[in-house]
Chain A
């Protein structure tokens, strides 16, 4: 298990080098997971190994408070997560621009990173994600309030265990413990948020992969209208769990995206030259 001290927080990360380690032009992809019971495992168990096998250099890490990273009581503003990502890149892959692949809140971090440090981001693949706008903040606030209410009821946990199995019930309990022991609920939705000018400054190419029945199903074209260079792929009938439930399709879309935007590293079919 690789760890680094990132802004005073012991941070767990996993690096999967491209299959051909001597290939200096390998695309560099950094995967950022979502909030709650998510961790780097979502990427490790789905995309990381196949991407590395295809010639991509993959880095993924546990956000502060998640997975095997330490859990400070406070420091959960969106800006803190961006600071962590920048510091981790400084400690690992260095200053060259990377492709950010964000799942849910991980994509929100990626958008804020691109707005603050455009020279560090080559492209963004946002899976069921949206930038930190006022609409996003309101949605996050509602989601957190509903989640806290639901998790405080033991009957709901029992229902989750019966309906989805003990595995999901344990994950939910772990997320509840994080919510109770940190300021994450109070801080995450506060941003800092991105205004129109900041959104317009995200000039790197963006691939948005959305579930047709996911968190953005009310307006599947919103990201395309909001960002200067965004392509949207919608997976019909899919809920928010795009990454874990549809990872073969996400892998195909991602390798095609890298072949298109990092042609030195990959051939058009997603294999190394």
Chain B
């Protein structure tokens, strides 16, 4: 499973009933504008990432270095690259 696949699974879980039917989550989608994630959802995503990959994948620390506008505009691909960079080498080449 690639990092994108794993992020798709996490985002689908967080979105729950709000996930868009028959729409595939792609790297170019915005987390907030396209997928409708709220800031509190990012807390859940962060907890799921840490649970899945360990403390080295610290989304809160990553986001704390960004401006709020960049957080709101963040795309799925940015999240995928972050996870791939911080997690096990097996995902780093499979984005």
Known: A244-B68, A245-B68. A16 touches B60 (CB 8 A): yes
Task: Find chain B residues with CB under 8 A from A170 CB.
Answer: 36, 38
| Interface of chain A: mostly helix, strand, loop or mixed | helix
- Within the assembled complex, what's the spacing in Å between the Cα atoms of A131 and B64? 28
**Which of these, B32, B33, B44, B60, contacts A45 with CB under 8 Å?**
B60
Residue pair A68, B68 in contact (C-beta under 8 Å): no
B51-66: CB near A (< 8 Å → 1, else 0) gives 0000000101101100
Known: A41-B42, A166-B33, A167-B72. A1 touches B60 (CB 8 A): no
Residue pair A49, B58 in contact (C-beta under 8 Å): yes
B29-58: CB near A (< 8 Å → 1, else 0) gives 000110010111011101100000000001
Task: Find chain A residues with CB under 8 A from B64 CB.
Answer: 45-50, 247
Query: In the complex, what's the smallest C-beta–C-beta distance from A95 to chain B, in angstroms?
Result: 27
Query: In the complex, what's the smallest C-beta–C-beta distance from A3 to chain B, in angstroms?
Result: 12
Residue pair A49, B43 in contact (C-beta under 8 Å): no
Task: Find chain A residues with CB under 8 A from B72 CB.
Answer: 165, 167
Q: In chain B, what residue has the closest Cβ to A53?
A: B61
Interface check B19, CB cutoff 8 A: no
- Within the assembled complex, what's the spacing in Å between the Cα atoms of A41 and B32? 14
Interface check B71, CB cutoff 8 A: yes
- Within the assembled complex, what's the spacing in Å between the Cα atoms of A39 and B38? 10
Interface check A249, CB cutoff 8 A: no
**Which of these, A14, A16, A42, A247, contacts B39 with CB under 8 Å?**
A42
The 7 closest A-B pairs by CB, nearest first: A41-B39, A49-B61, A49-B60, A167-B32, A39-B40, A244-B68, A41-B40
